[in-house]
Amino acid sequence: MKPFAFVFPGQGSQSVGMLDAWGDHPAVAETLKEASAALGEDVARLIHEGPKEALALTTNTQPVMLVAGIAAYRAWRAEGGAEPAVVAGHSLGEYTALVAAGALTLAAAAPLVRFRAQAMQEAVPVGTGAMAAILGLDARKVIEGCAEALRMLGTNSGEAVEAANFNDPAQTVIAGSKAAVDKACEVLKGMGAKRALLLPVSAPFHSSLMKPAAEKLRERLANTPLASPRIPVVNNIEVAVETDPERIRGALYAQAFGPVRWVECMRAIQARGVDTIIECGPGKVLAGLVKRIDPTLASAAILDPATLADAKGLLI
């Protein structure tokens, strides 16, 4: 079997019934049972029944996406799938990657990501922050456009906008205060962006406005047991593989208010001699980004028994 990487999705890929196709697979059922005990609620019921609005709440989305990614990973391993050579996760997905790599237990990670979600939601009042996807413009131009928007608003305006997710060579997500994001969208369209789409999110994730949330998270991380990962994990904030638990804590803290450098993460995985990247968990967003980052990379997604079998075939 050729070497491959697993990547784990973050918020936005959730959907009601997203684990239904696994049926009563023992690995999935055990994962749901474990997470429910850790969170003190019926996670299986929340995922199966929703409603959609409940799943979309950040405080629910983050733990259920963690659980869904680990359920798919455990099903893969239970069905004889090999251990990946390296793993990574997009934003929240980095926590899933750390669980898969053995650095975090699911029992510790589930309440941790719920705490992270609550801290992020509380950091910026709903409606005062925003995020937007900028399409068809080089990342350097996006950074320049954000700086120009802030200049136009005035250095003492108190507004903030910055690049938050470098998703592919022509898609960068910006985040910050609502007024500054709106101004940056206007500026960036004037600079040649094909589209500037406001995202349906409740907070400006991975922006400097999340610093208060990061400070709360730092305290929680200090009391969360972490081990050295068994599998290399490429982190979002530094595009580095850390083995020291304290450095992993530091990277998770900084990730809360720093950008997701996803393009560079995929390049770092390639540099390790891996040219097959498999998304593990609901949706196919990351698999799509892989092809846009480098069409020579092979990609697939594992979200049910059929796609698990397909992914096995890809690795032969």
Cα gap 143→161, rounded to integer Å: 9
Question: End-to-end CA distance of the chain, in Å?
Answer: 5
Considering only CA atoms, which of 75, 250, 234, 261 is closest in space to residue 165?
261
Let me know if 92 is exposed, middle or buried by CB neighbors in 10 A (0-12, 13-18, 19+).
buried
Considering only CA atoms, which of 192, 193, 185, 175 is closest in space to residue 152?
185
For this structure, is 206 an active site residue?
yes
DSSP label at residue 231: S
For this structure, is 91 an active site residue?
yes
Catalytic residue, candidates 90, 177, 202, 206: 206
**86 and 272 in contact (C-beta within 8 Å)?**
yes
**297 and 290 in contact (C-beta within 8 Å)?**
yes
Considering only CA atoms, which of 252, 223, 226, 245 is closest in space to residue 89?
252
Query: CB under 8 Å to 253, separation ≥6 — which residues?
Result: 214, 217, 218, 221
Catalytic residue, candidates 91, 202, 207, 299: 91
**139 and 169 in contact (C-beta within 8 Å)?**
yes
Task: Go through the chain and tell me how many residues it has.
Answer: 316
Query: CB under 8 Å to 255, separation ≥6 — which residues?
Result: 91, 94, 206, 235, 236, 237
Active site residues: 91, 206
